[in-house]
C-alpha cells in the first residue's frame, strides 16, 4: 500500500513538473487575447495588472477592450497566438505574435507581465 | 533566466531537445523578416539640441489597446535630448522591466527610437529656451539619473518620477512651467491627476521638428472608438 502511495506521489510530482503547477506567464497572455476575442471583457480585465487597472480606470479599460474585441472580430477572429517571454523572478517580458482568420495582417506586440498574489498579470510598458 | 516559447515553457523538455526547439522557434538558421516593422518615424532624426523633446509610441499591446481608445492617440512615452559631442542620447523615466531596474535612465537616441521600441516617433523643440535654459534642463535630467520610476504617478512628489513628470519638472527648473496649461487624466487608484505624454505634446510652446501626420495616417485609429 505504501509503495502504491509512493508511486502515486511520484506520478503526481511528474505531472506537476511537466504541466506547471500554476498558470504560466505565457498562457496568461494567450488567455487574455482569447478572452478579448470572445468579447469576454470581464475575464480579460482579470488578466491586467492592478497598475493598469488603477491608472486607466475600469471604465476606460472596459471600453478599450470592447473596441479591441470589435477590431479582432472585424479581422475574422484569432487564428494563432505565439508568445515568447524572457525574465526571472516576478517579471517577464517579450513578444506576442497574433494572426487572424481573416485578411488582417499579423500583429507583433510587446507584452510585459508581473506576478501579483501568485498570478501573472499583464502590465504596460513605454 | 528562462527563455523560450509557450510550448517550451509548458513541456519542460530536456536540454538538447529544448535547445533545438528554441532555435527553431526563435528562427535560428532561417531567413526571416524583422520581428517588428519599421517605425513610422523618419530614419534620420533632425538636428537636435539639448532639451529638445522626443516622443514615441511603444510596441506594448496593452498601451496600444488603451491608446487606440483615446480621442487623439499618438504617444505613450517622452524623454529629453542630451548632446555629448556627436553623440545624442535621451534621458527618460521608465518602469522596471527584464532588461533594467527602471527609473530615470540615459539611453542612446538610436536605441530609444529603434523599431522594436517605437512604432512612432516625433521630435519637438521649445524655441523660447535660451542656451542657458537648455543647460539647466540638461543638468536637471542628468542629476535625476537613477531616480526611481513613480508608480503612484504623483507629481507633487519628486523622489520618484514618471516620464512626463521628469520632462515638465526639468523645463520648470529652467523657468518654463508648463504644468498649469497641460491636460491631465485621473484614474481609480491615482492620488493625483496625471499628465499623459499626448497632453505635453500639445502644449503651445512645443514646435514639431518633424512633419505631423494626419490622424487618419495613424494605424491605431483603424477602428474608431465607439
Q: Which residue ranges make up each domain of chain A?
A: 24-122
Measure B83 CA to nearest chain A CA, in Å.
Answer: 22
Nine-digit cell at B48? 537636435
How many structural domains does chain B have? 1
Name the residue range of residue B85's domain: 53-221
Does residue B27 sit within a domain?
A: no
Mutate to test the interface with A, among B3, B4, B6 (most CBs of A within 10 A): B6
Q: Show residues of chain A in contact with B190, CB under 8 Å.
A: 54-55
CB contact under 8 A, A54 and B189: yes
Domain-embedded: residue B45: no
pLDDT tens-place values along chain B, 226 residues long = 333 333 323 333 334 343 333 333 333 334 455 666 666 655 678 899 999 999 998 899 998 898 888 776 788 899 999 999 989 999 999 988 877 889 999 999 999 999 888 988 999 999 999 999 999 999 999 999 999 999 888 999 999 999 999 999 999 999 999 999 998 887 666 788 889 898 899 899 999 998 765 444 444 444 333 3
Q: How many A×B Cβ pairs under 8 Å? A: 142
Contact A83 B63 (CB under 8 A): no
Q: What is the pLDDT of residue B97?
A: 82
Radius of gyration of chain B (CA): 20
- Tell me the pLDDT tens digit for each residue of A55-109: 777 888 999 999 999 999 999 999 999 999 999 889 999 999 999 999 999 999 9
Predicted interface score ipTM higher than 0.95: no
Pick the CATH number of A24-122 from 3.40.50.300, 3.30.2130.30, 3.90.110.10, 3.10.450.100: 3.10.450.100
Q: What is the pTM of this model?
A: 0.76
Residues of B in contact with A83 (CB under 8 A): 5-6
The DSSP bridge pattern shows strands B53-57 and A91-100 to be unpaired
Q: Beginning with the edge strand found earlier in the chain, give each strand of the sheet holding A107-116 in spatial order.
A: A119-122, A107-116, A91-100, A78-87, B2-5
Nearest chain B Cα distance for residue A23, angstroms? 10
For B34-70, the pLDDT digits (tens) are 666 666 655 678 899 999 999 998 899 998 898 888 7
CATH code of residue B74: 3.90.1720.10
- Rounded to a whole number of angstroms, the distance from the CA of B132 to the nearest CA of chain A is 30
Q: What are phi and psi of B55, to 5 degrees?
A: -110, 150
| Nearest CA-CA distance, residue B190 and chain A, Å | 6
Instruction: Note whether A28 and A36 are within 8 A (CB).
Output: no
Residue B30 in any domain: the answer is no
Amino acid at each position: 500500500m505504501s509503495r502504491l502511495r509512493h508511486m502515486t506521489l511520484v506520478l503526481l510530482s511528474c505531472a506537476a513538473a511537466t504541466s506547471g503547477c500554476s498558470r504560466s506567464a505565457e498562457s496568461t497572455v494567450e488567455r487574455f487575447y482569447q478572452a478579448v476575442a470572445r468579447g469576454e471583457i470581464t475575464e480579460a480585465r482579470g488578466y491586467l495588472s492592478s497598475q493598469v487597472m488603477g491608472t486607466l480606470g475600469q471604465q476606460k479599460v472596459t471600453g478599450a477592450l470592447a473596441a479591441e474585441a470589435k477590431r479582432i472580430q472585424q479581422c475574422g477572429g484569432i487564428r494563432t497566438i505565439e508568445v515568447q517571454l524572457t525574465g526571472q523572478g516576478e517579471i517577464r517580458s517579450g513578444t506576442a505574435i497574433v494572426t487572424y482568420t481573416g485578411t488582417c495582417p499579423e500583429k507583433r506586440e510587446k507584452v510585459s507581465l508581473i506576478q501579483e498574489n501568485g498570478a501573472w498579470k499583464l502590465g504596460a510598458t513605454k | 533566466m528562462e527563455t523560450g516559447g509557450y510550448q517550451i515553457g509548458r513541456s519542460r523538455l530536456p536540454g538538447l531537445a529544448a535547445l533545438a526547439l528554441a532555435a527553431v522557434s526563435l528562427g535560428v538558421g532561417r531567413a526571416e523578416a524583422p520581428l517588428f516593422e519599421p517605425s513610422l518615424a523618419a530614419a534620420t532624426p533632425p538636428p537636435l539640441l539639448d532639451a529638445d523633446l522626443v516622443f514615441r509610441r511603444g510596441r506594448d499591446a496593452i498601451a496600444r489597446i488603451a491608446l487606440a481608445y483615446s480621442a487623439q492617440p499618438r504617444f505613450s512615452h517622452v524623454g529629453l535630448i542630451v548632446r555629448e559631442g556627436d553623440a545624442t542620447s535621451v534621458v527618460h523615466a521608465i518602469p522596471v522591466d527584464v532588461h533594467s531596474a527602471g527609473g530615470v535612465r540615459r539611453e542612446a537616441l538610436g536605441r530609444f527610437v529603434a523599431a522594436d521600441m517605437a512604432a512612432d516617433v516625433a521630435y519637438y523643440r521649445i524655441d523660447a529656451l535660451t542656451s542657458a535654459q537648455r543647460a539647466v534642463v540638461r543638468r536637471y535630467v542628468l542629476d535625476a539619473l537613477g531616480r526611481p520610476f513613480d508608480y503612484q504617478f504623483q507629481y507633487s512628489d519628486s523622489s520618484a518620477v514618471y516620464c512626463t513628470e521628469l520632462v515638465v519638472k526639468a523645463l520648470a527648473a529652467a523657468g518654463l512651467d508648463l504644468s498649469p496649461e497641460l491636460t491631465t487624466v485621473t484614474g481609480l487608484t491615482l492620488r493625483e491627476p496625471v499628465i499623459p505624454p499626448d497632453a505635453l505634446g500639445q502644449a503651445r510652446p512645443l514646435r514639431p521638428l518633424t512633419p505631423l501626420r494626419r490622424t487618419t495616417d495613424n494605424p491605431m485609429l483603424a477602428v474608431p472608438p465607439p
